[in-house]
Amino acid sequence: MEKKNIFVLIQELETQMGHIHSELGGLKLVIKELLEENHRLSLENEQLRKILKREVAPAELENQVALQSVSPIKGEMQGEDVVGEGYDNLARLYHEGFHICNVYYGHLRTEGDCLFCLSFLNK
């Protein structure tokens, strides 16, 4: 009778080890996804910092020019037409390495050109 009890205990331990093994596999997948996301976000953060450093001075100059070109009577911009400004901003974002398509909007482009983004720009 003791031999049967030992056999049952060994089978129970074996099933518990199988469950633990599958849980460890799931945890490994979660850790892998977190590490990939962390790496992607680190690259995106680094790229955004470079862009910020590069555009801080020009943005301040643009603000000064914009304040000087505002009409005191109507409060409207004089000179340049603002039509197409949105398109220019999207094109700039795309060339800085970000998606502008509706599928991956705002994500960092790591694989080169995106056909969705390019088709959107060509419309």
Which tens digits make up the pLDDT trace of 42-86? 888 888 888 888 877 666 666 666 656 544 444 444 444 444 788
98, 107 in Cβ contact below 8 A?
Answer: yes
Q: What is the dihedral of CA 92, 94, 95, 98, to 10 degrees?
A: 120
Task: Provide the 3-class DSSP secondary structure of residue 77.
Answer: strand
Q: Is the pLDDT reported for residue 22 higher than 90?
A: yes
